[in-house]
Amino acid sequence: MTSLNDDSAAGRPMFDLEGKVAVVTGAASGIGEATVRRLADAGATPVLVDLVDCSDEAERLGGIAAQADVSVEDDIAAAAAAAVDRFGRIDIAVNNAGIALDPVPISETTPEHFRRHADVNALGVLWGLKHFTKSMPRGGAVVNTASICGVTAFPEYGSYTSSKYSAVGLTQVGAMELGPRGIRVNCICPTSVNTPMLWNFAEGEAEAAVLKAASPLSMIIEPEHAAALVHFLAADDCPVISGQPILIDCGITAGISGGIWEAVQEAVEREAGKGAED
């Protein structure tokens, strides 16, 4: 049957990114690093943006690096200009750089703690949406990295959660504003991923173990899993998804897993046993 759409991926190898220019922020580590490799493997020319210098990796992958702070608008405007000067345009923007400071309850949250998360995790997405899409052609894609904390709550993560809800909100507004130009905007919402960010927390190991037990799949997300989802959303094989926060959570938010149910049941029985002894 004749397609009713101008389907740009028709006739190309699956999820092919050959000839596309892909900017990735937070490219030096974790999800960003895995995403750069994945998109480059699929044929994209990468532009690696990070506070850290990524020149060696960029050269190895045939791209360029731009050292930039995503919370500073001028830095991101300069990174976008460098990409366009060198390659003529940007087809894919992955606004992924982010931070997670030590969690604190709302009662102890300071303006600095709140603003630092907002500056990097929310403004970083805003500046990426604003500057990386200026010359983006039809068929372009933006993928932001939000978090499970962008769609649900977790105690003591008020500042982080608020910044990630912003990232989801900006994704949805971006989809509305850029859709008429043929550009899709989505975001990924992972639970804990096996990256340095997770291990920066004192309780990282315990968090990983609990999440594994809580997940029906009994898995922890690897950065390559997140990169695979970014690749799916960046490619134009399925060009009809936009404005979506996509959960990547090993099934945790689907319901109460057997592992959690058993652990709670055991705790309740232990408490009941203790009560009977007392």
Determine, following the binding rule CB under 6 A, whether residue 51 of this chain makes contact with ligand NAD. Answer: yes
Determine, following the binding rule CB under 6 A, whether residue 97 of this chain makes contact with ligand NAD. Answer: yes
Residues whose CB falls within 8 Å of the CB of residue 182, separated by 6 or more in sequence, listed in order: 137, 138, 139, 140
Q: In angstroms, give the least distance from the CB of 158 to ligand NAD.
A: 15
Told to judge if 159 belongs to the known catalytic residues of this protein, a careful annotator would answer no
Told to judge if 160 belongs to the known catalytic residues of this protein, a careful annotator would answer yes
Q: In angstroms, give the least distance from the CB of 261 to ligand NAD.
A: 24
- Spatial separation of the C-alpha atoms in residues 100 and 205, rounded to whole Å: 16
- Choosing from 40, 79, 84, 120, the residue that interacts with ligand NAD (CB under 6 A) is 120
Active-site residue identified among 157, 164, 192, 242: 164
Buried b (16+ CB within 10 A) or exposed e, 25-37: bbbbbbbbbbbbb
- Spatial separation of the C-alpha atoms in residues 67 and 54, rounded to whole Å: 8
Contacts of ligand NAD in 173-212 (CB under 6 A):
190, 192-193, 195-198
Told to judge if 164 belongs to the known catalytic residues of this protein, a careful annotator would answer yes
Determine, following the binding rule CB under 6 A, whether residue 28 of this chain makes contact with ligand NAD. Answer: yes
Cα torsion at 49, 52, 56, 60 (round to 10°)?
-40
- Choosing from 20, 23, 32, 48, the residue that interacts with ligand NAD (CB under 6 A) is 32
What sign does the CA torsion over 187, 189, 193, 196 have? positive
Determine, following the binding rule CB under 6 A, whether residue 96 of this chain makes contact with ligand NAD. Answer: yes
DSSP 65: E
Task: List active site positions.
Answer: 147, 160, 164
